[in-house]
Chains A and B, each alone.
Chain A
């Protein structure tokens, strides 16, 4: 089955600096890659996603890049703010017949933005 590895497990940056989180996946059939942000005690919330036919996507301070050949994708947060502090999960998804999506999550990165 699919295996998603995520690094680093913890990341501390100064406010205003950039943060980068990297993930690799194993199954070339994965075609959808969402990123979730989870604040302490709350549900994961989608912050950005990318499909396999796109190499890069940007939404304000957040961007995601995908390298299908190397099977890796990354989340980039620029001009970090204290409210960016949270756990971030990457995921790789495969669509099956009948509409079922098998989503495999990374192990998470705890981001701390120091004011």
Chain B
């Protein structure tokens, strides 16, 4: 079964600073990968998905970007953080069954 790793676990950043969150996957090859954001007390919003190296699709226009430089690596970035970027960021991988499994998440606070 696949395992999703994310880091860092928590991050406090000033407004206007850059961001890089990393997600890696073990136990599978060529997985579909997803980035979600969860605002405090809210549901999950899909930000990006990737079906392979270099292939990124964006679900909502925003201040963030994603990249997939390697098969099992998915990166979420920003050049300049906004206050509204605060939240719990979850990376998910997809099993063959179509079920998505989440990583432990990164809690981001922008001040």
Measured CB to CB, the residues of A under 8 A from B are 32, 34, 41-46, 49, 89, 93, 95, 98-103, 105-108
Contacts beyond the supplied A43-B103, A103-B100: 10 A-B pairs with Cβ under 8 Å: A32-B98, A34-B100, A44-B44, A44-B102, A45-B102, A46-B101, A89-B43, A99-B94, A103-B34, A103-B46
Q: Nearest Cβ in chain B — how far from A69, in angstroms?
A: 22
Residues of B within 8 A of A (CB): 32, 34, 42-44, 46, 49, 51, 57, 90, 94, 98-105, 107
* Known A99-B51, A107-B43: A49·B99 in contact at CB below 8 Å: yes
A34–B99 touching, CB < 8 Å = yes
What are 18 A-B residue pairs whose CB atoms fall within 8 Å in the complex?
A32-B98, A42-B104, A43-B90, A43-B104, A43-B105, A45-B102, A46-B101, A89-B44, A93-B98, A99-B51, A100-B32, A100-B49, A100-B51, A100-B57, A103-B46, A105-B43, A107-B42, A108-B43
Q: List chain B residues, Cβ under 8 A from A45.
A: 102
Q: Is the CB of B98 within 8 A of A101?
A: yes
Q: Cβ of A101 and Cβ of B90 under 8 Å apart?
A: no
**Which residues on B sit within 8 Å (CB–CB) of A101?**
32, 94, 98, 100
Task: Report B9 CB to chain A, min CB distance, Å.
Answer: 10
Chain A residues with Cβ under 8 A from B32's Cβ? 99-101
Which residues does chain B contribute within 8 Å of A44, judged by CB atoms? Answer: 44, 90, 102
